[in-house]
């Protein structure tokens, strides 16, 4: 017998059933064509991670039992490789050899055998190909998935209660409930790195969630296998740059972030590729997205982007201040005004409420969503159960409904809010309204959930641990809604053809449940997927998740308050300018509505819609 065979025989003899298992896997796949990629469900990843932890602890106990055991390099290297893969951490030949527990020469031979058997794949780390990382192949991942499931069933059958054994294999896992095991694992490293000259280029909004993505840049570079370049702009500059990019012969970006109301403009002008044209949409698992967020990604019945953030605008209130004053959280606009008046105390530096009142885009959004609070969209949308139907806007049969009774009620409400607001309210926009709320100068504020990190993650701020969340209080007996905001990630229509395939894979990675959970764990308070909101580890991080989930089930998350027509950006700006003049006392509320209606109608006439 050769030295190599003797060595292998010794490993088999002393490595117990684990080596027999891995030898069988190696023999089964040796010489076969191994698939280049595999997909593990969150459940499978969770099971593998838990089995790995169990076996590592079990092995430690066995090693300490008789102190006469030999390491099994196949098992040690495979378990190390799979764990690091699921944690999106790099594995080099040196680190894998170090994890084997056997001498360098032996470990090198065993590693080479596993590579030749199709269990380990090599990915070049440099252009020369002299340095490479190691990754489990589809065969190895499939083997671990099967093995983990078998170990779980055996453990349940052997150690579980009679009820657990009768319940089958899906309800119990080492004595815990199946639901508790539904934690989403870290993003999985792509077995094939993205081939993008100069790296992956992304255009985003400069908000906390996208800044979290930027902070995780190194980790995602490991996941996708290439460098990542991210440019961030304010909302108006983001729109300007995205439109400018669409005019270029070739896009500077592989992925671009879009505010939800821009979908119609970018789709109708041909700035984005429809997703159903370039990929199997089922790969995105559409049913996992919040319904309003997924619907908002469509134009003319086709999806043009994938929700990267779903962030409703809510009423934020200080639970401690309301409780001290003996006040109940407001359910109506009249109640908001009463509470704002009660808690408004300028002499002591505290004001009743803050909101978007800066001229232009910021105030335009406020007026648009306040109209919805009084039961009316900004356009003549057809009514349907739960609100209005904004899915047929591509047909072009719409006109503004600004100058109306509901519009007047919304304008008068904003005028009433003005008297209980901070003195600089007319310059407050997205961030400025949340900062005074966080530091205790404001008792209530309208704000998107994406800004919650400003007070939820700062124990020194006055609002820390004292914030309650409500959908928009309604007026005129209208139903409660939480207007959905947020961003999509889409692929520019003028992307270089050779970059398209990699851009598709990157889009799937960055909008996956695994990525979304990672954003949340590092500070984001937005999530577009039901599975992320249901993850027990996520729900423990913030009361926002439970509150938003409840609003979703009550069908309060709605995107129709911000209808995504191509002209919406201009109409929002018009409303924000005319309402600002109203708040400054330059014109009456009725005059502001007439002026905004006239300008919006003219905007649609110029676009050929009226």
Q: What is the pLDDT of residues 348-407, one digit of tens each?
A: 999 999 999 999 999 999 999 999 999 999 999 999 877 899 989 998 889 999 999 999
Provide the pLDDT for residue 13: 37
**Per-residue pLDDT for 18 more than 70?**
no
Residue 227, φ and ψ in degrees, nearest 5: -70, 155
Q: State both tokens at 425.
A: 């309210």
At 557, the pLDDT band (50, 70, 90 cuts) reads very high
CA-only gyration radius of the chain, Å: 28
**Per-residue pLDDT for 594 more than 70?**
yes
- The topology under which CATH files domain 3-148 is Arc Repressor Mutant, subunit A (1.10.10)
Long-range contacts of 366-370 (CB under 8 A, 24+ apart): 366/414, 366/446, 366/576, 366/579, 367/410, 367/411, 367/414, 367/575, 367/576, 367/579, 368/561, 368/562, 368/572, 368/575, 369/313, 369/472, 369/483, 369/561, 369/562, 370/410, 370/413, 370/414
Provide the pLDDT for residue 147: 81
Provide the pLDDT for residue 12: 38
Q: Read out DSSP for 383-420?
A: EETTEE--TTGGG----B--SSHHHHHHHHHHHHHHTT
- The topology under which CATH files domain 311-385+397-481+558-606 is D-Maltodextrin-Binding Protein; domain 2 (3.40.190)
Quick one: DSSP state of residue 135?
A: E
CATH classification number, 200-310+485-556, choose in 3.40.50.2300, 3.40.190.10, 2.30.40.10, 1.10.10.60: 3.40.190.10
Task: Say how far apart CA 444 and CA 422 lie, in whole Å.
Answer: 11
**Per-residue pLDDT for 25 more than 70?**
no
Provide the pLDDT for residue 163: 52
**Per-residue pLDDT for 104 more than 50?**
yes
Q: For the chain, what percent of residues have pLDDT higher than 70? A: 86
Residue 400, φ and ψ in degrees, nearest 5: -65, 150
Q: By the 8 A CB rule, do 81 and 91 touch?
A: yes
At 99, the pLDDT band (50, 70, 90 cuts) reads confident
CATH 1.10.10.10 domain locations along the chain: 3-148
Note the pTM of the prediction, 2 decimals: 0.73
Residue 203, φ and ψ in degrees, nearest 5: -105, 125
Q: By the 8 A CB rule, do 596 and 579 touch?
A: yes
Mean pLDDT of 87-92: 79
More confident position, 437 or 5: 437
CATH 3.40.190.10 domain locations along the chain: 200-310+485-556, 311-385+397-481+558-606
Provide the pLDDT for residue 19: 43
Provide the pLDDT for residue 316: 97
Within 10 Å of residue 549's Cβ, how many Cβ atoms?
17
User: For 7-16, 287-296, 356-365, 441-450, which range has the lowest pLDDT when averaged over its residues?
Assistant: 7-16
**Per-residue pLDDT for 21 more than 50?**
no
Q: State both tokens at 177.
A: 């409930």
Q: By the 8 A CB rule, do 158 and 149 touch?
A: no
**Per-residue pLDDT for 151 more than 70?**
yes
Residues in CB range of 321: below 8 A, 6 or more apart: 343, 443, 466
Q: For residue 486, what are the β-bridge partners?
A: 310
Residue 346, φ and ψ in degrees, nearest 5: -60, -30
């Amino acid at each position: 017998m050769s030295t190599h065979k003797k060595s292998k025989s010794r490993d088999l003899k002393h490595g117990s059933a684990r080596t027999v298992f891995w030898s069988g896997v190696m023999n089964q796949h040796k010489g076969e064509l191994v698939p280049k990629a595999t997909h593990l469900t969150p459940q499978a990843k969770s099971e593998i991670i838990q089995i790995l932890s169990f076996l590592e602890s079990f092995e430690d106990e066995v090693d300490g039992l008789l102190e006469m055991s030999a390491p099994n390099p196949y098992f040690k290297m495979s378990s190390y490789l799979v764990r690091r893969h699921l944690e999106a951490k790099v594995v080099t030949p040196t680190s894998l050899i170090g994890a084997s527990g056997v001498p360098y020469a032996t470990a090198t031979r065993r590693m080479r055998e596993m590579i030749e058997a199709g269990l380990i794949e090599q990915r070049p780390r440099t252009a020369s190909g002299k340095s490479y990382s190691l990754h489990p192949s589809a065969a190895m991942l499939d083997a671990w998935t099967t093995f983990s499931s078998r170990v779980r069933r055996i453990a349940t059958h052997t150690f579980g209660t009679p009820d657990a054994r009768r319940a089958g294999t899906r309800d119990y896992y080492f004595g815990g409930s199946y639901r508790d095991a539904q934690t989403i694992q870290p993003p999985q490293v792509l077995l094939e790195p993205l081939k993008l000259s100069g790296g992956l280029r992304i255009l985003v909004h400069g908000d906390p969630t996208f800044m979290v993505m930027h902070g995780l840049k190194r980790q995602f570079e490991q996941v996708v296998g290439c460098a990542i370049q991210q440019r961030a702009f304010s909302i108006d500059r983001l729109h300007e740059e995205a439109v400018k990019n669409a005019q270029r012969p070739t896009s500077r970006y592989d992925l671009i972030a879009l505010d939800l109301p821009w979908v119609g403009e970018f789709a109708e002008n041909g700035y984005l590729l429809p997703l159903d044209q370039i990929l199997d949409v089922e790969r995105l698992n559409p049913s996992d997205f919040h319904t309003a967020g997924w619907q908002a990604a469509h134009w003319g019945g086709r999806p043009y982007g994938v929700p990267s953030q779903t962030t409703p605008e809510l009423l934020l209130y200080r639970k401690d201040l309301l409780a001290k004053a003996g006040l109940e959280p407001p359910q109506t606009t009249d109640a908001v005004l009463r509470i704002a008046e009660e808690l408004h105390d300028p002499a002591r530096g505290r004001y009743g409420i803050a909101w978007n009142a800066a001229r232009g885009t910021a105030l335009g959004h406020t007026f648009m969503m306040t109209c919805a609070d009084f039961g009316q969209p900004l356009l003549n949308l057809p009514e349907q159960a739960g609100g209005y139907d904004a899915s047929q806007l591509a047909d072009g049969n719409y006109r503004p409904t600004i100058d109306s009774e509901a519009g007047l009620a919304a304008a008068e409400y904003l005028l009433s809010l003005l008297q209980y607001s901070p003195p600089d309210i007319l310059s407050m926009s997205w961030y400025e309204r949340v900062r005074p709320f966080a530091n205790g100068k404001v008792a209530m504020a309208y704000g998107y959930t994406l800004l919650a990190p400003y007070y939820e993650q700062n124990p020194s701020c006055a609002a820390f641990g004292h914030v309650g969340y409500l959908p928009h209080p309604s007026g005129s007996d209208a139903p409660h809604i939480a207007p959905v905001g947020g961003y999509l990630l889409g692929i520019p229509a003028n992307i270089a053809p050779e970059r398209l395939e990699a851009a598709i894979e990157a889009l799937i990675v960055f909008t996956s449940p695994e990525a979304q959970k990672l954003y949340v764990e590092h500070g984001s308070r937005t999530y577009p997927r039901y599975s992320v909101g249901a993850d027990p580890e996520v729900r423990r991080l913030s009361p926002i998740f439970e509150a938003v989930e409840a609003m979703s089930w009550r069908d309060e998350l709605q995107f129709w308050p911000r209808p995504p027509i191509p002209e919406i950006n201009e109409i929002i700006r018009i409303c924000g300018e005319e309402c600002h003049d109203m708040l400054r006392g330059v014109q009456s509320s009725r005059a502001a509505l007439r002026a905004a209606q006239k300008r919006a109608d003219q905007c649609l006439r110029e676009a050929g819609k009226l």
